[in-house]
Structures are given as C-alpha cells and as structure tokens.
Amino acid sequence: MRIQRLAAAAALGVAAAAVSGCATGLPTNVTRYSTAIPQGQSFYVVPADGMLRGLEFNNFASLVSQQMIARGYRQAPSTASADMLVKIGYGVDHGTQHISVDPFYGSSPYYGGGFYGRPYWARFGYRGYYRSPFYWGWDDPFWYGSPYGGAREYTVYQSELNLGIVRRIDNAPLFDGRAMARSETDELGTLVPNLVEAMFTDFPGENGKTVKITIPARKRA
C-alpha cells in the first residue's frame, strides 16, 4: 500500500511539473514541415493572418530574427528587399480548470481527518458499501469544498506559436511549424520566448515529425 501511495505521489509531481512552465521549463510539442531553405537568404518577419503589428509583436519578431540570424540568414530592411517572409502567429487560450488531489492527505488519523489509518477518501457510501471519491462523478457534494481539504484547483492554459516561411516573390512555402505547450501561466511574455526557442531547436527539424522539446527554466534576473 505504501509503494502505491509513493507511486501516486510521484505521478502527481510529474503532472504538476509538466504544466508549471516557470519552475522547471516548458515541455513543448513541436511539429515542422519544410523544403530546402537556401542558406544565406535574406528574410523579414511579418504578422501572420489575423495578427496585429505592435510593440508586443515587434518584441517577439525580434526573438525570431535572432534565431534566423544565428542560423546564417540575413535580416532585410524591408519586405520588398527580402528573399523570404517569416510569418508568425501566437496566442493562449482561456484555460481549463483541473483538480489535483494530494495522495498522502488523510493517510492517517493525524493527517486531514483519516479514520483508523484509512485515507480520508475511503469513506462509505449507501448501505455501508465503500465508494470512491468520484462516486457521484465530478460533482460529488462530499468531495469539493470538504472541510478536510486535500484537493487543489488550478487552471491549465494551452499556448501556441505558428511560424511559416515563404518565398516572397511567389509566396511558395518553405517551412511550416507549430509549437504547443500547456502551463499554469497565460503570460505571453513568458510563454512565447520559450515557444520560439523550442521551434528553432534542431531547426528545421525532421519533416512531419512531432517531437517534445523542454526548454530549461531561465534564472530570474
């Protein structure tokens, strides 16, 4: 029984780390498609359809430009003088609510209201039969808001970066990539730099393959 509890605790810790983003890095799924991109070509970063150019966009466009320059491409002074256009779009959803349960909570009569060493959630239902904490489904009135605690409600956000490279003269596609991540923050200033770095890790990547890339956490200034 103790081994099972330790395993559950480990799984809970992994799940929390997977969406924390800021503390342990941002696990990102990246899918990329590409053709041969001539080395040394010039480029100019522009908003994807539906995106507005502003200070926020200019900041993220600068990050993309740095990544392109580091890989041997030249930044053009304008769209008209560029060989390629790099189109970027990004965003984050409104989030979904999740519940995590402390597997150690209530494992003894001295911890969270356990009874004779049984976990708190090992309570009895109708006619004395054992029931799980989800006996009533996600709306179990005896589970949420319990005075004994043991559950944490949090929000998980899904962020996304889309990046496309086209030949300016005829709009022929050269690269198409998407990076997606889940985290407990919806701050684009934190998320987009990580998504950009993941997008350019091993650029241009294996054609059509989705890979998980975790960008190490940055130290706070």
HEC per residue, 56-72: HHHHHHHHHHHHHHHCC
Instruction: Say how far apart CA 30 and CA 24 lie, in whole Å.
Output: 18
Strands 151-167 and 173-183, by their bridges, are: antiparallel
Residue 162 in any domain: the answer is yes
- Domain range spanning residue 68? 7-95+154-215
Residue 220 in any domain: the answer is no
Q: What pLDDT does 82 receive?
A: 97
Q: What is the CA radius of gyration of the chain?
A: 24
Q: Element (H or E) spanning 13, and its range?
A: helix 2-20
Residue 58 in any domain: the answer is yes
Per the model's pLDDT, the better-predicted residue between 29 and 124 turns out to be: 29
Read off φ and ψ for residue 119, nearest 5 degrees: -60, 150
Per the model's pLDDT, the better-predicted residue between 183 and 131 turns out to be: 183
When pLDDT is averaged across residues 33-44 and rounded to a whole number, the result is 92
Residue 188 in any domain: the answer is yes
When pLDDT is averaged across residues 5-12 and rounded to a whole number, the result is 40
- Mean pLDDT over each residue of the chain, to the nearest integer: 75
Structure tokens at 147: 């005075």
Residue 63 in any domain: the answer is yes
Residue 199 in any domain: the answer is yes
Q: What pLDDT does 151 receive?
A: 75
Q: What pLDDT does 103 receive?
A: 62
How many residues make up the chain in this entry? 221
Count of domains for the chain: 1
For residue range 95-119, what is the model confidence (pLDDT) as tens digits? 888 787 766 555 555 444 443 343 4
Q: What pLDDT does 97 receive?
A: 84
Q: What pLDDT does 78 receive?
A: 95
pLDDT band at residue 9 using 50, 70 and 90 as cut-offs: very low
pLDDT band at residue 129 using 50, 70 and 90 as cut-offs: very low
User: Where in 52-186 does DSSP place strands (E)?
Assistant: 74-75, 84-92, 96-101, 151-167, 173-183
Structure tokens at 68: 């392109």
pLDDT at 219 over 80: no
Residue 136 in any domain: the answer is no
For residue range 157-178, what is the model confidence (pLDDT) as tens digits? 999 999 999 999 999 999 999 9
Q: What pLDDT does 218 receive?
A: 57
- The CATH number of the domain holding residue 56 is 3.30.160.670
Residue 174 in any domain: the answer is yes
